[in-house]
Amino acid sequence: MKFFVDTADLKEIKELAATGLLDGVTTNPSLVAKSGCASFVDLIKEICSIVSGPVSAEVGATDFDTMLEEGRFLAKLAKNIAVKVPLTPAGLKVCKSLSEDGVMVNVTLCFSAAQAILAAKAGATFVSPFVGRLDDIGQNGMQLIADICQIYSNYPEFKTEVLVASVRHPQHVVQAAQIGAHVATIPPKIIMQLFGHPNTDKGLAQFVEDWKKCGQKILP
């Protein structure tokens, strides 16, 4: 499963890219606003220079003509841009147009398997089901992932990858991998939590203590 980081913070992106764990980046208007960057375009360009994988940049408009114009503009910023559009009739029209031009498209705000079918038929590169937001209203977000993966597997002509979004905890990541989702876009905090286990900390502490006692060293 590919790991995208869900942030617009350049420092976080650089640190994670250095680990070799990062396959791409997703941003949205809320994350861009949180980053405090003065220029959205400059921010996206810099992220694309740090990460070689797909970088999702979301359109700001909601009508077809303006979304298409914005999408084409964003796609020219870097070769690894994935234009992000909402799962609306206008958004899917934009998706079809951009996909036919060879542009990667991430269809976002997916909350049902029916919507995911539409995104695949429109030629989306990625569809982003929001598992955490479904959990928040008492629905089973991971069941949606399972349903979409099953449906897509029935139709080899569907090339759309399932990008698990709104990840709230490490178990979401593990469950997504068990189901067979192609991608998870994960907040930096959750990625760091994947490292954690008390037995790892305990074992390392014991190894360090024993190494000190033996009085040896590796480097001259």
Res 127: pLDDT = 98
Q: What are phi and psi of 196, to 5 degrees?
A: -80, 135
For residue 106, what is the enclosing H or E element? Answer: strand 104-110
| CB of 107 closer than 8 Å to CB of 113 | no
Res 21: pLDDT = 93
| CB of 94 closer than 8 Å to CB of 69 | no
Burial class from Cβ neighbours inside 10 Å (0-12, 13-18, 19+) for residue 72 reads middle
Nearest by Cα to 181 from 157, 154, 160, 155: 160
Res 38: pLDDT = 73
User: Structure pTM?
Assistant: 0.93
User: If you average pLDDT over residues 130-149, what whole number do you get?
Assistant: 98
Name the average pLDDT for the chain: 96
Number of H helices, E strands in the chain: 11, 8
Res 30: pLDDT = 86
End-to-end CA distance of the chain: 41
Query: Is it the case that residue 62 has pLDDT exceeding 90?
Result: yes
| CB of 190 closer than 8 Å to CB of 170 | yes
Cα(150)–Cα(143) distance, integer angstroms: 11
Number of residues assigned to the chain: 220
34 an active-site residue?
A: no
- Indicate which residue of 34, 84, 93, 159 is catalytic: 84
User: If you average pLDDT over residues 48-64, what whole number do you get?
Assistant: 97
| CB of 106 closer than 8 Å to CB of 26 | yes
Cα(195)–Cα(161) distance, integer angstroms: 26
Instruction: State the maximum Cα–Cα separation within the chain, in Å, rounded to a whole number.
Output: 71
Q: Which domains does the chain have, with CATH numbers?
A: 2-214 (3.20.20.70)
